[in-house]
Amino acid sequence: MKIEWDPDKMATGVPDVDHQHQEWIQRYNEFDEALSAGHGLEAIRSTLDFFANYAETHFALEEARMAEYNCPAAAANRADHQKMRIILSGLRNYVAKRGASLIEVEGLRQKMSDWLINHILTIDIKLRDCVGKETPSKPNLYPGR
């Protein structure tokens, strides 16, 4: 199932985070196309490697932006990121040891799609409400102005 970037629904208001989300979606779509074309195990390994490596870069950026904007969703974001790290690690280990059947391939495709969409639409977009607001860590030193 191809994922379409919808800026009205998915944009966080933080350009570097949004750019990385678009990269995740593009790479997921390439994975989806490779599976549809029957590229199988190599596509799975390549995708898992990319997602595991990119996750660290993206999660660090996103968590830093949530902290910077004092976003109330920061703790939920970190927790959800940790869940995805565990999923990716488990999947990589499983595929390395056992390979993957058609059922497992389809499960991975669905799990990745669901996580990307749900994470962006339920947690990441909460950044929108925080961007541009004054944070307690940066108080207004000139009240009344």
Reported as half-sphere exposure (CB side, CA atoms, 13 A), residue 135 has a value of: 15
Q: What is the pLDDT of residue 51?
A: 86
Tell me which fold the domain 14-129 belongs to.
Four Helix Bundle (Hemerythrin (Met), subunit A) (1.20.120)
Q: How many CB atoms lie within 10 A of CB 44?
A: 22
Say which DSSP state 100 is in.
-
Distance separating alpha carbons of residues 34 and 112, to the nearest angstrom: 14
> If we measure between CA atoms, which residue out of 79, 80, 68, 59 comes closest to residue 130?
68
* CA terminus-to-terminus distance, the chain: 51
Q: What is the pLDDT of residue 142?
A: 44
Q: Give the domain ranges of the chain.
A: 14-129
pLDDT tens-digit readout, 7-17? 999 999 999 99
Give the type of residue at 62: E
Consecutive 10-residue runs of the chain (145 residues): their mean pLDDT?
A: 93 96 92 81 81 92 95 96 87 78 76 91 95 55 46
- Provide the token pair at 7: 């800026």
Q: What is the pLDDT of residue 143?
A: 47
Query: 101 — phi, psi (to 5°)?
Result: -90, 175
Q: How many CB atoms lie within 10 A of CB 130?
A: 20
Distance separating alpha carbons of residues 91 and 102, to the nearest angstrom: 14
- Provide the token pair at 129: 């409400």
pLDDT tens-digit readout, 104-121? 777 778 888 899 999 999
Query: What pTM, to 2 d.p., does this model score?
Result: 0.82
